[in-house]
Amino acid sequence: MTVIRRIGVTMLTVVILAGFPATAAAARPPARNVLKVITVPPLPSAKFALDGKPLVTDAHGTAYATVRRSRDKHRLQLLTPHLDTPGGSADFVRWAGRGDVGQGFAVSQLDLVIGRATRIQATFQTSRTVRYGFVDQARRPVAPERITSMTLRGDSGQQLTVEGVRPVTLTAVRPVAEAGSAVGKEVTYYVQSVVIDGANVVNTGEQRLLPNRTADAEFVVLLRSARFRIRDWLSGDPLAGGLDLTYPDGRTERLTAGQDGDVAVENLARGTYQVKVAGAGYSQAQKILLSRSRYVDLPVVTYADMVALAVAALTTLLVLVVAGRRRLGKRPRTAT
């Protein structure tokens, strides 16, 4: 009886011990894989769906999802291919990630196999609206109506010409591939030209703009001053009168000099001008390169100068004639 009882207890113990691992395994939670979705550049509140279940990126532009560990294929879908951002917007470009995921331009990734830790990137190109103004080298504002156009060239090859002065929307960040991953690269724009009165008033490529960092920009333009001095060609005395100033764009403006014969013009665009005195007398048109502020003398041959020159010429001629006759009168005669 004792032997039989011992055998029974032993068999019961074996059965209990054999069944314990199965019970523990059944109680263990199923293994799961993690999917990490990253927006490039980081965009909060971007919406995705994994097999129909919503995902939203956090403040760092990242969203996580867990699935049961398997080789099943999943569908990842971008629900917000266009996002409004502060001062601009972001538009989907393409997916980037693991080699078995592939890269495509469609908003959905089908047949996505999620391994133990899978990382996939959704890349965007962001744009931002920039306002801008102009000042001269003394930091004095330049009237917007004076600006004909501005041309910008981005380091990504984009060139844009803006007529007048108005807000402009520029690419701020674009995705590029580096070391097998996507990164957001800031786009830098360089000022190629600013046209005032038909002349470029900036040095090409000297000033730059980063839309991702600023929504308000200020550019310095090169303006010059000129002081025109109308003078009598013969005496050097100042003359009152007018002059015609032709700008680089071909526009002509009539200016008036006072009794001192001077006309000062400020804030002229750096460039080539033509100036000619208008009024009594003769003055030759001059081409002037305003690469710096300068004084310009405008000599005028007046009617009085013409009379004086004529009298001087006649006097000289008479002197020569009289002198010639005297020489002939004093020449000794030759005997025949």
Classify the C-alpha dihedral 160-164-169-171 as positive or negative.
Answer: positive
Q: What is the pLDDT of residue 307?
A: 64
Q: What is the pLDDT of residue 25?
A: 46
Using an 8 Å Cβ cutoff, are 140 and 100 in contact?
no
Q: Which residues of 17-59 form beta strands (DSSP E)?
A: 32-40, 47-50, 53-56
Residue 299 vs residues 242, 245, 257: alpha-carbon distances, Å: 13, 15, 14
Q: What is the pLDDT of residue 100?
A: 46
Q: Which residues of 187-315 form beta strands (DSSP E)?
A: 189-196, 199-200, 208-209, 216-220, 223-232, 241-246, 252-257, 262-269, 271-278, 286-290, 294-300
As a whole number of angstroms, the distance between CA 151 and CA 159 comes to: 7
| Tokens, residue 286 | 């001059």
Residues listed for the chain: 336
In terms of Cα–Cα distance, which of 72, 79, 81 is closest to 112?
A: 72
Q: Which residues of 53-188 form beta strands (DSSP E)?
A: 53-56, 62-68, 73-78, 82-85, 88-97, 108-113, 117-135, 147-154, 159-163, 168-178, 181-186
Give, rounded to a whole angstrom, the gap between the first and last alpha carbons of the chain.
Answer: 195
Q: What is the pLDDT of residue 283?
A: 83
DSSP label at residue 144: G
Q: 173: part of which helix (H) or strand (E)?
A: strand 168-178
Torsion of CA 92, 94, 97, 101, to 10 degrees: 120
> What pLDDT tens digit does each residue of the chain (336 aa) get?
455 555 554 554 544 444 545 444 455 666 889 999 999 999 999 999 999 999 999 999 999 999 998 888 999 999 999 999 999 999 999 999 764 444 578 888 878 889 888 999 999 999 999 999 999 999 999 999 999 999 999 998 889 999 999 999 999 999 999 888 899 999 999 999 999 999 999 999 999 999 999 999 999 999 999 999 999 888 888 998 899 999 999 999 999 998 899 999 999 999 999 999 987 678 889 999 999 999 999 998 876 656 666 777 777 877 777 766 777 666 665 555
CA 79 to chain centre: 32
Q: What is the pLDDT of residue 60?
A: 96
Using an 8 Å Cβ cutoff, are 156 and 184 in contact?
no
| Tokens, residue 199 | 């002349």
